[in-house]
Amino acid sequence: MPDSLNDPDTQSLSQKPPEPDQPAADEMKVSFLRTNRGIGIGLLVIVGILAASIYFSDWAGRILRDGFMLGGFPLLATGFMAVASLILVFDGQARQVDPDVARFRLVSLVIVLAAVAVLGVGFLSIPIIGFVPMIFLLVGFGAVTLGYRPVWLAFVVAIIVALVMRTIMYWLDADIDDGLLLKLIMGDGNG
Amino acid sequence: MVDVASLMEALSIVFTLKTMLWLLLGVAVGVGVGAMPGMSPAPAIALLLPLTFTLSLPATLGLLIGVYKGGVYGGSISAISFATPGTAESGATVIDGYKLMQRGQGKKALHMALYASVTSDFLSDVLTILLAPTLALVALNFGPSERLWLMVLAIALLGALSGDHFAKGFLSAAIGLFIGTIGSDPVSMVSRNTFGQWWLAGGIHLIPLIIGLFAVATMLEKLVEIIRERALEAHEKVVSKAGPLSVDSEGLTFAEYKSCWKEMAIGTGIGSFVGILPGLGATVGAFLSYGVAKQLSPEKKIGSGRLEGIAAAEAGNNATCGPTLVPLLAFGIPGSTIAAMLGGALAIQGVVAGPRMFELYPAAIYALFLILIIANFFNLFVGRFFAGIYAKLGLLPVTLLVPVVLVMALIGGYAYENNPFDVGLVLIFGVMGYFLRMFKVPEAPLIITFLLAPMAEESLRRALLINRGELVPALFGSWLAIVLALLTLSLTVLLARSQINRRVQNLGG
């Protein structure tokens, strides 16, 4: 059960006995940043910067017709975020480390950002490459990169997904670009 | 009092071939999504929301409610077949279900899960139909300060009850409140908190937020797991564990179904109560019902591969489906992520969920109630005849699922308003959702506070206007407001200290 993973006795990395050598000291440093307290402090810094940027903005202090300050609610929200972060820093679970946080490596962040970048670039390339080819490429190469085999089946699924999605977009009357290639083949006026 | 004309109108719009087909499609998709480990009804509904622009109100309700109900039941299929719950809601079903499967009684177990799900779902829908209008009548008498406190109470409950750690639930609610303030203030419509970006002046819409937080974040999580070769190994384990599902084995007899009435009653009662409360949800409903049934009948040895265990767990999770809509319909406050999405879908159709919905859109309310009931029969049909096929979905390679869902999320975000900036938001919220999941921050308080933020601000400012800018009378102008404020404070402290979610899951173990 997931609960067992959340058991404070099994997950607290910060409770590891310290060792005298340098790598262990580094690990302790990393471990603190992964505890609820470490994350809470990080969040406090971010929330502080956010609150300051709102407070010193030219719009936040503006008083509206009903006497309410325009920045009132955004500042209230940052206040709540700060309180939640403070609770993380000081409550009974402050020294705990969530198992997923403990397993987190920089490579995970790189993977996430790379995936998001590929999706973003893929979407922005639709006007050039076209909707169907781009969805085909994203799904097909995505599946193969992740290890799906056989390769031909990945691309068969990809073309089916692309065509089904194009049909749905047509049906939703969405403004979709079929790309320069198809425009050249079909002439003006499609898409 | 039944409004016969509106009921007749609702019957005429619900019992059409088109609505029935959408409902059937919703249930079929929902059961499939539930049966696939890694997918759940929430991301599926998020991905389907943009599709509802072109649909009529009953078709929209049919599709989304079908996905929801089918999804909650569908999780039991892979829970029983592979000991891998398709959804978190079916975690308690694994305990007895998989043991029965190993004994060659998988078909019996699958039937028990289906019948318990449908029975409790139907009964809790009846309760919803009786309760929601009654509470709405009470809610109509609330002024702005009472409404404000009711929203604060809902947010506090969500923060305290969602997830294992109060601070994280509270943090989630605060982030939702912050995102809800981006765009313009809800009274004067003056631009604020846009980070200097013109395209944020209209605010952030529910659909990119939901698609990002649920669909994209879930898939990014899977993606990282695959690349780090964890999910792949887990998947191989599932395949090797599964073995062939024996479709020729003996099904459930009526006597066996009847013998589980007590567990189904426990599940229906607990699930309905849990469903009404904001923040708890179907997972807690299942584990709590299972735990209570186990403790009330130790002689049945629930946990050793008993049909009663499946009945309690499945009745407990499906009984939350209807009642989770009660706070939305009675007070206009969604008590769960799914309710928030259904509220969003109603808004797309021009219907504002809340107590006035009963006066302004009676036909829509009747249509919703009818669809809630009919969806159970569709669930019964799909589950009874296609469970074996759905069980194979549990073996669908996650390496194929991830790119397909990510691309669907991208295009779903765009289709909402043909706005490429929404795609950017989908990706940003996807990354945010990934980190929230990693840090075990529940998403439900974020989504619901995001939706409530403008309403809460409007209510506060209206209360201040009525009371000429005096804060104390604006907040505590009536006995009801004072009672709600005290209730909020005491419940928050009590629930934050008791960590209900963790205790409930321990009951099942």
**pLDDT: which is higher, A48 or B285:** A48
B506 chain-A contacts, CB cut-off 8 A: 3
Tell me what pLDDT residue B502 has. Answer: 62
pLDDT higher than 70, residue A11: no
| CB atoms near residue B106 (< 10 Å) | 24
Tell me what pLDDT residue B309 has. Answer: 94
The SS3 call for residue B347 is helix
- Report the residue from A70, A108, A124 with minimal CB separation from B190: A70
Alpha-carbon span B271 to B288, nearest angstrom: 8
Alpha-carbon span B165 to B82, nearest angstrom: 30
Nearest-neighbour CA in chain B from A108: distance (Å): 6
How many angstroms separate the Cα of B86 from the Cα of each of B208, B368, B454?
25, 27, 35
Tell me what pLDDT residue B388 has. Answer: 82
pLDDT higher than 50, residue B50: yes
Nearest-neighbour CA in chain A from B401: distance (Å): 8
For B77-86, B203-212, B414-423, which range has the lowest pLDDT when averaged over its residues? B77-86
| CB atoms near residue B325 (< 10 Å) | 27
Torsion of CA B350, B354, B356, B360, to 10 degrees: 30
Q: What is the token pair recorded at B26?
A: 């919703």
Closest chain B residue by Cα to residue A34: B439
Highest mean pLDDT among A11-15, A175-179, B362-366: B362-366
- Report the residue from A40, A64, A148 with minimal CB separation from B190: A64
Q: Encode pLDDT of B320-369 as tens digits.
A: 999 999 999 999 988 888 999 999 899 989 999 999 999 899 999 999 99
Residue with the two structure tokens 């139907």: B122
Tell me what pLDDT residue A10 has. Answer: 34
Does the beta-carbon distance from B171 to A88 stay under 8 Å?
A: yes
Backbone angles phi, psi at B232, to 5 degrees: -60, -45
Q: Encode pLDDT of A97-128 as tens digits.
A: 888 898 888 889 999 999 999 999 999 999 88
| CB atoms near residue B484 (< 10 Å) | 22
Does the beta-carbon distance from A123 to B440 stay under 8 Å?
A: no
Percent share of chain B, pLDDT over 90: 46
A112 touches chain B (CB under 8 A): yes
Does the beta-carbon distance from A138 to B407 stay under 8 Å?
A: yes
Tell me what pLDDT residue B505 has. Answer: 57
Kindly state the average pLDDT of the residues B375-379: 96
B224 touches chain A (CB under 8 A): yes
- Report the residue from B180, B410, B465 with minimal CB separation from A119: B410
pLDDT higher than 70, residue B501: no
| Banded pLDDT at A18 (limits 50, 70, 90) | very low
Which of B206, B186, B261, B265 has the alpha carbon at shortest distance from B426? B206
Kindly state the average pLDDT of the residues A70-89: 94
Percent share of chain A, pLDDT over 90: 54
**Which letter, b or e, does each residue of B405-418 get, where b requires 16 or more Cβ atoms within 10 Å of its Cβ?**
bbbbbbbbbbbbbe
**pLDDT: which is higher, B285 or A51:** A51
Burial (CB count within 10 angstroms: exposed 0-12, middle 13-18, buried 19+), residue B426: buried
**pLDDT: which is higher, A124 or A185:** A124
Backbone angles phi, psi at B357, to 5 degrees: -60, -35
B438 touches chain A (CB under 8 A): yes
Q: Classify residue A69 by its DSSP letter.
A: B
Question: Helix, strand, coil shares of chain A as percentages rounded to 5?
Answer: 70, 0, 30
| Banded pLDDT at B57 (limits 50, 70, 90) | very high
Which residues 105-134 of chain B have a CB within 8 Å of chain A? none
Alpha-carbon span B273 to B127, nearest angstrom: 10
Which residues 161-190 of chain A have a CB within 8 Å of chain B? 161, 165, 168-169, 171-175
Residue with the two structure tokens 């506060």: B460
Q: Is the pTM value of this prediction over 0.90?
A: no
B499 touches chain A (CB under 8 A): no
B509 touches chain A (CB under 8 A): yes
> Residue B314 in contact with residue B73, Cβ under 8 Å?
yes
Cis amide leading into A150 (omega within 30): yes
Q: Could you give the ipTM of this predicted complex?
A: 0.83
Burial (CB count within 10 angstroms: exposed 0-12, middle 13-18, buried 19+), residue B17: exposed
Q: Classify residue B213 by its DSSP letter.
A: I
Which of B257, B219, B231 has the alpha carbon at shortest distance from B84? B231
Helices and strands (H and E) in chain B: how many: 25, 2
Alpha-carbon span B356 to B195, nearest angstrom: 36
Helices B57-82 and B362-393, packing angle to 10 deg: 30
**pLDDT: which is higher, B353 or A184:** B353
Alpha-carbon span B64 to A142, nearest angstrom: 29
Kindly state the average pLDDT of the residues B239-264: 74
B416 touches chain A (CB under 8 A): no
What is the torsional sign of CA A164, A166, A167, A169?
Answer: positive
B50 touches chain A (CB under 8 A): yes
Closest chain B residue by Cα to residue A171: B54
Task: Tell me the one-letter amino acid at A96.
Answer: Q
Alpha-carbon span B371 to B27, nearest angstrom: 11
B167 touches chain A (CB under 8 A): yes
Residue with the two structure tokens 């809902």: B154
Cβ contacts of residue B51 below 8 Å, gap of 6+?
A168, A172, B63, B412, B415
Alpha-carbon span B161 to B113, nearest angstrom: 27
- Report the residue from B167, B192, B505 with minimal CB separation from A87: B167
Which of B353, B378, B375, B374 has the alpha carbon at shortest distance from B365? B353
Mutate to test the interface with A, among B165, B398, B507 (most CBs of A within 10 A): B165
Mutate to test the interface with A, among B63, B95, B193 (most CBs of A within 10 A): B193
B465 chain-A contacts, CB cut-off 8 A: 66
Alpha-carbon span B363 to B350, nearest angstrom: 13
Does the beta-carbon distance from A139 to B407 stay under 8 Å?
A: yes
A116 touches chain B (CB under 8 A): yes
How many angstroms separate the Cα of B170 from the Cα of each of A33, A176, B128?
21, 40, 28
> Residue B351 in contact with residue B57, Cβ under 8 Å?
yes
Does the beta-carbon distance from A87 to B170 stay under 8 Å?
A: yes
Alpha-carbon span B218 to B40, nearest angstrom: 10
Tell me what pLDDT residue A16 has. Answer: 40
pLDDT higher than 50, residue A22: no
Nearest-neighbour CA in chain B from A25: distance (Å): 24
Nearest-neighbour CA in chain B from A1: distance (Å): 8
For A126-140, B131-145, B239-253, which range has the lowest pLDDT when averaged over its residues? B239-253
Tell me what pLDDT residue B230 has. Answer: 58
Task: Tell me the one-letter amino acid at B197.
Answer: Q
Q: Encode pLDDT of B86-135 as tens digits.
A: 777 888 898 899 889 888 888 899 999 999 999 999 999 999 999 999 99
**pLDDT: which is higher, B395 or B315:** B315
Tell me what pLDDT residue B3 has. Answer: 82
User: Whole-angstrom distance between the N-terminal and C-terminal Cα of chain B?
Assistant: 45
Does the beta-carbon distance from A40 to B54 stay under 8 Å?
A: no
A59 touches chain B (CB under 8 A): yes
Can you list the positions of beta strands (E) in A18-161?
A: none
Which residues 69-108 of chain A have a CB within 8 Å of chain B? 70-71, 73-74, 76-78, 80-81, 83-85, 87-88, 91, 93, 98, 100-101, 104, 107-108
Alpha-carbon span A108 to B227, nearest angstrom: 9
Backbone angles phi, psi at B193, to 5 degrees: 55, 40
A58 touches chain B (CB under 8 A): no
Residue with the two structure tokens 């409950």: B157
Helices and strands (H and E) in chain A: how many: 11, 0
The SS3 call for residue B190 is coil
Alpha-carbon span A69 to B298, nearest angstrom: 60
B223 touches chain A (CB under 8 A): yes
B418 chain-A contacts, CB cut-off 8 A: 174-175
pLDDT higher than 90, residue B174: yes
Q: Classify residue B200 by its DSSP letter.
A: G
B469 touches chain A (CB under 8 A): yes
For B57-71, B242-256, B462-476, B485-499, which range has the lowest pLDDT when averaged over its residues? B242-256
Q: What is the token pair recorded at B181?
A: 């303030």
B498 touches chain A (CB under 8 A): no
B503 touches chain A (CB under 8 A): no
How many angstroms separate the Cα of B310 from the Cα of each of A134, B253, B305, B306, B501?
45, 15, 9, 7, 20
> Residue B53 in contact with residue B348, Cβ under 8 Å?
yes
Torsion of CA A7, A11, A14, A18, to 10 degrees: 120
Kindly state the average pLDDT of the residues B237-266: 74
Nearest-neighbour CA in chain A from B192: distance (Å): 7
